[in-house]
Structures are given as structure tokens and as C-alpha cells.
Amino acid sequence: MGGARALVLLSLVFGLLVRCVGGQDAQSDIAALLAIKAALVDPQGILTNWVTGFGNAPCDWNGVVCVAGRVQEILLQQYNLQGPLAAEVGNLSELRRLNMHTNRLNGNIPASLGNCSLLHAVYLFENEFSGNIPREVFLGCPRLQVFSASQNLIVGGIPSEVGTLQVLRSLDLTSNKIVGSIPVELSQCVALNVLALGNNLLSGSIPNELGQLVNLERLDLSRNQIGGEIPLGLANLGRLNTLELTHNNLTGGVPNIFTSQVSLQILRLGENLLSGPLPAEIVNAVALLELNVAANSLSGVLPAPLFNLAGLQTLNISRNHFTGGIPALSGLRNIQSMDLSYNALDGALPSSLTQLASLRVLSLSGNKLSGSLPTGLGLLVNLQFLALDRNLLNGSIPTDFASLQALTTLSLATNDLTGPIPDAIAECTQLQVLDLRENSLSGPIPISLSSLQNLQVLQLGANELSGSLPPELGTCMNLRTLNLSGQSFTGSIPSSYTYLPNLRELDLDDNRLNGSIPAGFVNLSELTVLSLSGNSLSGSISSELVRIPKLTRLALARNRFTGEISSDIGVAKKLEVLDLSDIGLYGNLPPSLANCTNLRSLDLHVNKFTGAIPVGIALLPRLETLNLQRNALSGGIPAEFGNLSMLASFNVSRNNLTGTIPTSLESLNTLVLLDVSYNDLHGAIPSVLGAKFSKASFEGNPNLCGPPLQDTNGYCDGSKPSNSLAARWRRFWTWKAIIGACVGGGVLALILLALLCFCIARITRKRRSKIGRSPGSPMDKVIMFRSPITLSNIQEATGQFDEDHVLSRTRHGIVFKAILQDGTVMSVRRLPDGAVEDSLFKAEAEMLGKVKHRNLTVLRGYYVHGDVRLLVYDYMPNGNLASLLQEAAQQDGHVLNWPMRHLIALGVSRGLSFLHTQCDPPIVHGDVKPNNVQFDADFEAHLSDFGLDKLSVTPTDPSSSSTPVGSLGYVSPEATMSGQLSSAADVYSFGIVLLELLTGRRPVMFANQDEDIVKWVKRQLQSGQVSELFDPSLLDLDPESSEWEEFLLAVKVALLCTAPDPMDRPSMTEVVFMLEGCRVGTEMPTSSSEPTNQASPV
């Protein structure tokens, strides 16, 4: 009896003790939760009931799950909670699950979570956590199965202690800023199903030991800086269904890891440096749904078994070097998206293409496919996207396109298609993009196209279309881009185009349009680009154009307008580019230009403007280009222009400016072009400007003195003017000298002056020229492709080929600056004396005269007689890339930001691609280097010195850096060995130029004698020293910015171009495509790659 009483009493005491301890634990949980609440901002009030008096605290609180009175789960996802996660969370000793994803939590992930030893799931993705991953969490939570902290701001490396987590099933750290290598200890997490580390800054190589994770189903290492080869150990991952390795620096070939990959469904290896063939064993991956190996250097023929994978839905092998024809496609019964673009595939389109009934996306752009378009394409009724541009396709556009009712994008640009645009296209009622640029299509624009009410982009530029512009296009209310440039359209601009409410870009350049600009463009609230240059438009320029609310570019150059610039110009607050050059405007420049504060380029050259240059232009903070040459402006150069901190090009030549050159211009570190020539300036040239620019920038001002002028034309620091024959010649021909002669000496003085000039001219001709001809002789004619000039004109324009007019000396002769009587400036190349037969020279020159592209120097004319051979080109006032890079080096790179470098690279690649693919026969450049990249007045890059090997016998100069196959440092290995030129060698040379442009380093100037720029760049990438690649001006790029990614993509393009094996290099067409894709943060202009039939100014 007593024993039973004692047992009951013991039970009561034990129960009371348990409740006491349990109560204390519950109070500890409440205190921890209240600390968490106190640290957070709760805009949605989800934590309102977290108070001690509410219900059964804390188990009745929102987002809290209890078991036996203890907190086991916190579920507070997607409530916009803000602030740090309090360290007291580590006091929740029974916590199993922590789910607070998709909030705005910040600060460090608390290391105290390691105290929650029972924790098995942590979901903290889509927050703003920073700092390192606490190793304490991995050490203290041995039961952890899921750790998801993706899309945060976490830095540092992955703790090696992760290897202690034997039951970890999922580790997701994607989209952070994690650095270092992938810890080999991850191979000890044998239960791992998901390893996602994509979009970080990881470097090093992929550990082969990851092949020990036999339960792995998804491996994502994409968008890092991982190098080395894909390890063969991955072949052991028999359960793997997703492998993502895109956007890294992986090298070597695609390994044969497919024998046991029966579960693999998604394989993404794109955007790397992989080379070699695509293994045929990939057919063993019978479950494959998606294959992406785009943007590598894979080569060889396409393996036919690949096209028998019946389950394959997405195939992307674009931007590689695959050759040969396209295999039979009928085995791809479920294919929905197929991208084979930008390879070197040739032959005709396979007839089996028409059997792919499920196909929605087909891109075969940028290959060498030939033949006509098969009529059976109309059978692909599910097709939504069709891109066959940049091939060699010919014939007409099939009429069965009318069956493609689902089609939204049709791109057939840059082929050799002929005939009219068929009305059948108008049956594709869902069409949003129609791009037929750069073909030989003829006839009028079909009025039926106006029925395409979903049409957003219509690109028809650079064809042979004619007739008038159809007013009916003004009913396409969704139209955003309308490009009808480079045709033979006549008549006026339809007023209906002013009623397109969504129009953003209207390009009607280089047609034969006349009449006035219709009223109403001011009503287009979305219009950003209005380009009407190169027509015969007339009348005055309406002030309403500057009131278009979003206008960023207004180009009306080379028309027949009259009148003045409206004083309302200042309301154009968003205007970035204003080109009103060569259209006959007069009057004063309006001071209101100072209100166009976003203006980057102001081009008003070749007009009749008078008066002073408005001082207010100095208030334009973003101005990069100011071109006022060939007007009648007077007064001085405003000293305030020294405040234009971004000014790169400043041209006020051939005006009536007086005064001195302001010393304030010396502070313009970004200035790469200065031309104040042929004015009436006087005094000393500021020393910094004199040292930076050549005498061509200052000549024609009789009273300017000091370097770089060789003689002193006026009083400078008390010195007397030079009395040399050349100096007296220049002074005699100033207006002041002529007026003085008339007033002081009357008619006799004028006669003496003329006699003296005649004598001087005769002496100069005898001394400097061996090729003089009488102006009327047959030998005097220079063959020009447009307006004629004579040899005498050129002799006079070059001062009888005087040294003062020399622009450059190359292996293909001497280039002179020629200033014609009407003020036009040309470049004249005098080729070395050689034995090229006259008829051959003429034939080659005629052929080169037909090569026209906006990124190539255009041959305007030639002269041949005896040993004298001349080539006439447009003058490039902004020098060459070599000079620009040298200037950038002196200014720590600050004259060249990333967008400028990218546009230069893109321009050169487009020009070179045109030579390789659009010329018949194709032209191999043979000497691509910075000296042969020249810049026009708008700083657009033009590739020069092409096609000259057949026009001259190049002399051998032992002191020159040139070789028979290019210039030292830029010549490909195979060209050095064989002495043979090729398009692949051009690609290599371009790659070197691109690396030089990106890094600011010369090709062979390295401390290690055996190291060149290619080896140096690869070494920096492999060691993870990415920042070492950046030119000094690019060091401030944010690693998270799009520009950082764009730069690295461009480096990868350069490395592809410089592959040792020419078969592994991309074509220049592929390079253009890749460089266009580099600008991920900015939409590239759609017209920038178009060939142009620029009119010669002569």
C-alpha cells in the first residue's frame, strides 16, 4: 500500500517536472520569435498576432507550426518582410523547416542557425542576404536535406564543410556573387539530387569527383567563369536528367559521356570555348528533349544519328563551325525549335524539312545555303519563327507562304532573292516582323502588306524596289520600325505615315523622294528616330519636328532644304543626334541649342550659317561630336568649350573664325579630333594641343604659330613671321593680303602679285612633280565614278604631292590629303611604281569601286598612266584605330568607354564580313590591323587597304613591320608558315585587333618573350584574374552589370577568332552575329550593318 502511494507521488512529480521544463522551452521559443519580429519591417501585417496574449502562443501565430508545443516550422514566404534575420532564430532548438523565401531579408545569414541541430530544410531564396555562407550551418545541422539560398547577394566561397552533410538532397545557390572553386568535398554528399550553382563567379575547373554523386539528377554550373575540360567522370551520373554548363570558359571537346545517360533530357553546353566534333554517341541519350551547344567552336559535319532522336524537341547548335549539308530531318518527329544558324552549312535546304509538322521555330541564318526556297515550306502550318537570312539563297519568294497562318517573324534578309514581294505574304495575318533587307527584290511595295495589322517591324532596305511609297502602310497601326532606305523610291512622303501611333523608327534614307516633310510627325508620341537623309526633299524644316516628344535622332542631311534652324530647337530635350549637314541652311545658330542637354552629336557642316558660335553649346554635358565645318561662322572659339568634358570630335574648319585658340581646350582629355584649319585664327597654338594633333588640324590660319606648324606664320612670343617661300605663298592668298594689295598698290600691285604667284607655281611644279600634264591633255583625266575631276585638280589639291599633305605611308604607297577648290576633302593614294598592266589595273579598280559598305573605305576614282597610279577615297578626318588606342593609353583609356569599343569592333567585323561574303569574287583583306581601321566625321569605323595587292607591286622594306601576308603580331600561324592569304587568316587578325581593343595591350609587348596577347588572355582567364584583362578605363565596370558580361563575351569572341586551327575559327558573319549579341543591355540599331551606296561628295 505504501509502495503504491510512493509510485503515484513519483509520477505526479515527474509530470509536473516535464510540464515545467516544457513551459520553459515554449517560453524560449516565444522569446526567439519576438526577437525575429522586432528586427523586421512587416508591411502586410502578417506578424500582427505575434503577441504573448494571443491564443496558444506561439503555436497559433501566423506562419508558425508547432508539434507538442514546440516550434518546428516557420512559414513566412512572400510577405515582403524587410530587415535582418535575428540571431535568436538559433534558439529554436526543435526547428525543422525554415521557409522565408521571396521577401526582402538582408544582412548575413545567421551563423546561429547551426544551433538548430534538427533542421532539415532552409528556404531563403529571393531575398537580399549578403556576406558569406556560415560554415556553422553545415557543421551543426547534420540532418539538413535542403538548403536553398538562390537569388541573393551572398559572397565568398562555398564552405568545404558542406561535405559533412550526408543526407543533403538539394543545394541551390544560383544567382549570387559566390567566388572560388567548386569544393571537391561536395562529392561526399552522396544523397545529392540537385546541385545548382549557376550565375555566380565560380572559377577553376569542374571536379572529376562529382561523378561520385550517383543520385544526382540536376547539375547546374552555368554562367560562371569555370574553365578546363568537361570531366569524363560525369559519365557515371546515370540518373542525370539535366546538365547545364552554359556561359563558362570550358575548353576541349564534348566528351563521350552519353553511353549510360539514358535519363538525360536537357543538355546545355552553349557559350563556351569547346572545339572538335559533336560525338555521334549522343544518339545514346534516347530521352533527350533539348540539346544546346550554341556559341562554341565545334566543327566537322553534323552527325546524322542526331537527327534521328525522335523525342528531341529543341535543338540549338548555332554559332559554331559545322560544315557540310544539313542531314535528312524526317526522324525529328517532335522537333519544335531548331536553330542551326551561323555555321558554314552549305547545299540546298533538305526537302525533308517540310515534314516537320510540329516545328515552330526554324533559324538557319548565317550559313552558305544555296538554291531556291522550297515551296513545301507552306506545309509547316505551326511555324511561328522563320529566319533564313544571310545565306546564298536565290530565286523568288514562294507563294505558298500564304499557308503559314501562325507565322510571326519572317527574315529572308541578305540573300540574292529576286522578283517582286509576293502578295501571298499578306496572308500571314499574324506576322509581326518582316525583314527582306539586302536582296535584289524589285518592283513596288505590295499594297496588300497594309492588311498586316499585327506588323511591328518592316525592313525592306537595300533592295531594288521602286515606285512611290504606298500610303496604305499608314494603316498598320502597330508598326514600330519602318525601314525603306537605299532604294529608288520617288514621289513624296505619304502624310499617312504621321498617323502611326506606335512608330519608333522611320528610315527613308538614300532614295529619290522629293517634296516637303509632311506635317503631323509631332503627333507620334513614340517616335525616336526620324532619318530622311540623302533625298531631294525641299522647303523649310518645320519647327514641329523638334517637338516630337521622344525624338532622339533627327537626320535630314543631304537634301535641298532652305531657311534657318528654328529657335524652338531647345524644346527637343531628349534629342541625342542632330544631323542637318549639307542642306543649305543659313542664318545664325540659335542659342536655344543649349537646352538640348542630351545631345551627343551635333552636325551642321556644309551649310551657310553666319554669326558667332553660341557659347551655350558649352552647356551640353554629353556632347561628343561637334561638326560646324564649311560654314561662314565668325567670332572666336568660346573658351567655355573647355567644359565639354565628353567632347571627342571638334571640327570648325573652313569658317571665318578669328581670335586665338582657347587654352581651356587643353583640358579636354577625351578629345581625339580637333580641326580648326582654314580660319583666321592667330597667336600661339596651346602647347598640349600642338603636341597632341598634327599640323593638318591648324593649317590655313596664316597668323597661327608654334608646333606642330613647321614655320611661323605670325608673331609668336615676339618672333617675326617666317619669310619662307611657302609661308609667303600662304600669306599672299589670304583675304587680308589681297585686300591690302588692292588698297596699297592699286592695279599694279595686283599684276605683280599675280605674276609672282605664277612664277612660284611654275617653280614648285618643276621641283616637286614628275607627273604634271597640261589641263587639257587626255592624260589628265581621273576616272571618277561620280563627278569628274582631273589630275591637275589633284595636283593642286595636294600641293603637287607635297610632304605637307602626307597622311600616312603604307606598303601600298603614300596617302595624301587633297583639298579641292570647292572645299571637298579627299584621300589620294599614290601606289608604288610597279609593273601591273594598265588594263588589269583598270579592271581591278572598277571592281573595287563597286564595293560599298558603311564600314569600308569607298573607292571614288582612280588614275593610271605610265608608272603613275592613283586611288581616290573619301577623307577620314578622325584618324585610325592605332592612333586612337595610343591616345587612350596616354589618357589611361578614358577616351574609349566600353560602348565605343564595342561599336568599333562591330563596325570592323561588319566590313570584313561584307568583303568575305558579299563581294564576287570574295575579297581577302590580308592585313587587318589598327592602322587600317579609320574613322569618319561621326567616328564610325571604316576598314581600309583592302584589295590593293592586285593593284600594285609591293616593295620589300626590311625595316617595316609588314610581311607579305600581313603585319607582325597580327598574322595567323598558318599564313606565316604557308605565305598564303585566306579569310580564316583575316578572322585571326581581327581577333588580335579585338583583343588589343578590349585590353589596351599591344599584340607582342609582354614581359615573357614567348607570350603573345592570346596566351596572356588565356592565362588570365584560367587563373581567374579577369580584372587584369580590362583596359584602365574599364576597371570600374560592375561585375554584376551587363557591360561586364558584354566585355567577357567579346573576349570569348576574340579567342574563338584566334584559335590555332583555322577550321576552328568562326566566319566573319558569325563574328558579327556574336558581337551583336554581346550588347545584352542595349538594343542594337537594326540598320547599322547594312551596306550603303554612299554618295561621293565630289
- Do the Cβ atoms of 948 and 961 come closer than 8 Å? no
- Do the Cβ atoms of 841 and 951 come closer than 8 Å? yes
CB neighbourhood size of 259 (10 A): 11
CB neighbourhood size of 44 (10 A): 10
Going by their DSSP bridges, the two strands 64-67 and 70-75 should be labelled as antiparallel
In sequence order, what DSSP letters do the residues of 171-220 get, joined into one string? EE--SS---SPPPGGGGG-TT--EEE--SS---S---GGGGG-TT--EEE
Torsion-angle region of residue 45: left (phi > 0), alpha (psi -120 to 50) or beta?
left
Question: How far apart are the C-alpha atoms of 659 and 735, rounded to whole Å?
Answer: 16
Element (H, E) at 1074: helix 1068-1078
Nearest to 807 by CA among 834, 827, 836, 789: 827
- Do the Cβ atoms of 587 and 610 come closer than 8 Å? yes
CB neighbourhood size of 471 (10 A): 15
Residues 577-609 as b or e (16 or more Cβ within 10 Å = b): bbbbbbbebeeebbebbbbbeebbbbbbbbbeb
CB neighbourhood size of 500 (10 A): 23
The catalytic residue among 389, 582, 927, 986 is 927
The amino acid sitting at 885 is L
- Do the Cβ atoms of 831 and 812 come closer than 8 Å? yes
Going by their DSSP bridges, the two strands 703-705 and 70-75 should be labelled as unpaired
How open is the CA angle 83-85-91, to the nearest 5 degrees? 150
Cα-Cα-Cα-Cα torsion 607, 610, 611, 614, nearest 10 degrees, comes to -10
Q: Which three cell numbers stand for residue 1075?
A: 558581337
Question: How far apart are the C-alpha atoms of 638 and 699, rounded to whole Å?
Answer: 20
Question: How far apart are the C-alpha atoms of 255 and 262, rounded to whole Å?
Answer: 16
Q: Identify the three-state secondary structure at position 999.
A: helix
Report, in angstroms and rounded to the nearest whole number, the Rg of the chain calculated over CA atoms. 36
Sole residue written with cell 571638334: 650
The beta strands (E) that lie in 820-867 are given as 825-830, 859-865
* 1076 phi/psi in degrees, rounded to 5: -65, -40
- Do the Cβ atoms of 1033 and 894 come closer than 8 Å? yes
Report the DSSP beta bridge partners of residue 73: 65, 97
Residues 338-360 as b or e (16 or more Cβ within 10 Å = b): bbbbbbbbeeebbebbbbbeebb
Question: How far apart are the C-alpha atoms of 736 and 753, rounded to whole Å?
Answer: 13
In sequence order, what DSSP letters do the residues of 759-770 get, joined into one string? HHHHHHHHHH-S
- Do the Cβ atoms of 389 and 409 come closer than 8 Å? no
- 927 is an active site residue: yes
Report the DSSP beta bridge partners of residue 202: none
Contacts of 951 (CB under 8 A, 6+ apart): 812, 831, 836, 841, 844, 845, 848, 869, 871
Q: Identify the three-state secondary structure at position 778.
A: helix
The size of the chain, in residues, is 1098
Half-sphere exposure of 523 (CA within 13 A, CB side): 10
Half-sphere exposure of 776 (CA within 13 A, CB side): 0
Catalytic sites, residue numbers? 927
